[in-house]
Structure 1
Amino acid sequence: MDDRIRRHAEVLVDYCTEIEPGDAVLVRAPTAAEDLVVALYERIGERGAHPVTEWLNPRAGRAYARAMDPDDFDTKAHQLATMRETDAVIMIKASENAAEGSDVDPAKSQPSSRAKQPVLQERLETRWVITQHPAPRDAQRAEMSTAAWTDYVYDAIDRDWAAQRERQQRVVERLDDAHTVRVVSGDGTDLRLSIAGMTTINDAGKRNMPGGEVATSPVPDTVEGEIRFDVPLYRHGREIRDVRLVFEDGIVVDHAATHGADALRSLLETDDGARRVGELGVGMNRGIDCVTDNILFDEKMGDTVHLALGNAMEECVPDDRPFNESAVHADILVDVSHDSRLEVDGEVIQRDGTFWFEAGFDEAS
């Protein structure tokens, strides 16, 4: 076994989820990630904890979704019960066919997402992390060789996370005291929103591995303006490209996509909260330097800002602030490396992808 796989398992068990003796650990993984699951079991065993694996089979999931009547989707009580008894969840991504669910009726995604919502809420109460195991299909989507993709994944994961956290904390402190944020990019993006009273999180690899972003949740009804997204969104095996959204009073009032418009419409119609923004994220991982059509990596790029349509992040919304609830949480990215700026209370803190504390900020256009 590649030593980097064991190192990956160590990071997930020791740093991300901090597994302790006696913990009930759920590992959710596709069969393409079997090597990482084996390494995880070894590390979890050394910790004296108790793992169980939920093997993900996209082909079986496709068959199930195609056979189901939309009215028959319901929360799986046994899955919900398992999650309630779980202390930590390690979720692994690895594709054999990223488009496996592309021929499932989009109308079924809404009831399916709603049925999964109670399980999602229980999972958010655990110590959880999402990560990536390098697989050939993901390499193909990233337009890399399998070897290059494997190096890319491990280079992004095996980093000095303490130093990354310290660097990101500078942006956290600016956003924590802020009221308004404005994102401007090219001719198609000019978006304003309030984050007054919200909490900002420093994602340095605890919930996402790799980590590398600063994120918060906006006040739901304050999002105004227009935004165009440069990086594709993938939903249930469907690609959605060149998304354009127009917001009024926090709600998407107009939308378009050059590819996957039906899938975008289905996403927005999931529930009332799906037309609102649940997250504003700022990528800060300089070790991730190119788009790979993999949101776990792309949203951490240092030259990107992203919004998530749908459910807000509980850790960002104090009890006395409005919370946007939805069965979906879909991240969409804007490339801010050129002709762009990020303003906080009227002050530019990032220009053309460069932060105010980085070399070249004053020279950026």
Structure 2
Amino acid sequence: MDSRVERHAELIVEHCVDIQETDDVYVSAPAAANDLVVALHAELGKRGANPLLSWRNSAASRAYHREMDAEEYALSEHSLAVMEEADALIAIRGDENTAETSDVPPENLSAAQRANQAVQEARPDRWVGTQYPTAGNAQKAEMSTEAYEEFVWTAVNKDWDEQYDHQEQLVELLDPAKEVRIRSGDTTDLTMSVAGMRAVNDDGRKNLPGGEVFTAPVPDSVEGHVTFDKPVLYMGREIQNASLEFEDGEVVDYAADQNEDALGAVLDTDEGARRLGELGIGMNRDIDRFTYNMLFDEKMGDTVHLAVGRAIDECVPDDADIEGNQSATHVDMIVDMSEDSVLEVDGDVVQRDGTFRFEDGF
């Protein structure tokens, strides 16, 4: 077996979810990721864990959702039971066709998320989402399969202690901050309060690859406008040039050059879907190109991403005076900060045209 696959499996078990003897581990994966699943089970066996494997099939999901009525979705009780009993969750991605669900009504996908919000909330504390490099994802990234494999494993199989130290410099600036302002060209000027929220150093534990620093905006504090100049691939549909207008924290207007109805369906998921749940800053410079895969794209250097919907629990301290945003959805969208852009923290510029003030060339 490819040694890069074996290293990937080792990182998942050791670095990400710290598997112990007798842990009940829920593994969710597509058939295309078979090699990683096999290597992963070998690592789980070495540690005496108890894996439960669930194969995902996007064509089957498409068939199901196309026949469902949006009003008929109900909580998947058996999925909830598995989440509640698992000690750890390992979710592996990998597409044979990234557009498989593109002809599913977006309102059905939103309804499914609402119905199964409790499943997401029951996810065990030890969990990780990761990627297996498939031909389908390589094709969407406009790369050969071999080149995409190298891209994925370069971003995944790295020195995460070193990456942590690099990112901690931004955490030290962002964690005590009260206000953040994002400006990019004449299409984005957005301010938000992050007072009382926690800045988190993503060193590849919950997401593999990691490579970002993220926090949660105070839900009603977001003001201004933003245009996401990188496409959003949502449930197989590509949303181009999405733009949002915020007042008192809420999206009051939106537009997109392509698949605007899909963007509208996201925002209509529930009340919280019209507010921001995350501000993230990409810092993994081994991710040096856009690949239509948010697991990688949001970590790309010289970018900022914002997510409408659910706030990440890690960002909201238990004793915070304000709650993080609540929603059944969490959809990330990216702003390119490499040119004519600044990121300000409490009025001080901490990033200019993609370069941080603690990096050479600032």
Q: TM-score, normalised by structure 1?
A: 0.98
- The equivalences for 1:126-145 within 5 A come to 126-145=125-144
Tell me what 2:37 maps to. Answer: 37
Tell me what 2:241 maps to. Answer: 242
Tell me what 2:196 maps to. Answer: 197
What is the distance in 1 between the residues matched to 2:248 and 2:316? 19
- The equivalences for 1:194-273 within 5 A come to 194-273=193-272
- Residue type at the aligned position of 1:357: F
Tell me what 1:349 maps to. Answer: 350
Q: What is the CA deviation profile of residues 161-183 of structure 1, one whole-angstrom value per residue up to 9, with x for unaligned ones?
A: 00100110111111111000000
What is the distance in 2 between the residues matched to 1:204 and 1:174? 17
- Residue type at the aligned position of 1:140: Q
**Partner SS for 2:161:** helix
**Partner SS for 2:25:** strand
**Partner SS for 2:180:** strand
- Residue type at the aligned position of 2:50: H
- The equivalences for 1:318-357 within 5 A come to 318-319=317-318, 320=320, 321-357=322-358
The CA deviation at 1:323 is: 2.0
Tell me what 2:5 maps to. Answer: 5
Tell me what 1:309 maps to. Answer: 308
What is the distance in 2 between the residues matched to 1:314 and 1:206? 15
Query: Where do 5+ consecutive residues of structure 2 fail to align?
Result: none
Tell me what 1:173 maps to. Answer: 172
The CA deviation at 1:126 is: 2.6
What is the distance in 1 between the residues matched to 2:21 and 2:91? 20
**Partner SS for 1:70:** coil
Tell me what 1:72 maps to. Answer: 72
What is the distance in 1 between the residues matched to 2:30 and 2:281? 29
Is 1:121 the equivalent of 2:144? Answer: no
**Partner SS for 1:220:** coil
- Residue type at the aligned position of 1:58: S
What is the distance in 2 between the residues matched to 1:4 and 1:170? 30
Q: Is the 8 A contact 1:245 1:254 kept in 2?
A: yes
Q: In angstroms, what is the RMSD of aligned CA positions?
A: 0.7
The CA deviation at 1:103 is: 0.9
Tell me what 2:14 maps to. Answer: 14
What is the distance in 2 between the residues matched to 1:323 and 1:142? 34
What is the distance in 2 between the residues matched to 1:286 and 1:101? 31
What is the distance in 2 between the residues matched to 1:13 and 1:318? 27
Q: Is the 8 A contact 1:73 1:111 kept in 2?
A: yes
What is the distance in 1 between the residues matched to 2:350 and 2:99? 38
What is the distance in 1 between the residues matched to 2:31 and 2:154? 23
Q: What is the CA deviation profile of residues 83-131 of structure 1, one whole-angstrom value per residue up to 9, with x for unaligned ones?
A: 10001111111001111111111221221011121000011x3301111
**Partner SS for 2:279:** strand
- Residue type at the aligned position of 2:57: N
Q: How many residues align?
A: 360
Tell me what 2:56 maps to. Answer: 56
Q: Is the 8 A contact 1:86 1:126 kept in 2?
A: no
Q: Is the 8 A contact 1:278 1:312 kept in 2?
A: yes
What is the distance in 2 between the residues matched to 1:132 and 1:46? 22
- Residue type at the aligned position of 1:298: D
The CA deviation at 1:230 is: 1.1
- Residue type at the aligned position of 1:341: V
Q: What is the CA deviation profile of residues 248-273 of structure 1, one whole-angstrom value per residue up to 9, with x for unaligned ones?
A: 00000010000010000011000000
Tell me what 1:100 maps to. Answer: 100
**Partner SS for 2:116:** helix
**Partner SS for 1:282:** strand
What is the distance in 1 between the residues matched to 2:235 and 2:138? 19
Tell me what 2:359 maps to. Answer: 358
What is the distance in 2 between the residues matched to 1:132 and 1:181? 31
- Residue type at the aligned position of 2:110: Q
The CA deviation at 1:194 is: 0.3
- Residue type at the aligned position of 2:241: D
**Partner SS for 1:227:** strand
Tell me what 2:294 maps to. Answer: 295
- Residue type at the aligned position of 1:300: K
Q: TM-score, normalised by structure 2?
A: 0.98
Query: Where do 5+ consecutive residues of structure 1 fail to align?
Result: none
- Residue type at the aligned position of 1:258: D
The CA deviation at 1:318 is: 2.0
What is the distance in 2 between the residues matched to 1:98 and 1:145? 15
Q: Is the 8 A contact 1:306 1:334 kept in 2?
A: yes
Q: Is the 8 A contact 1:134 1:150 kept in 2?
A: yes
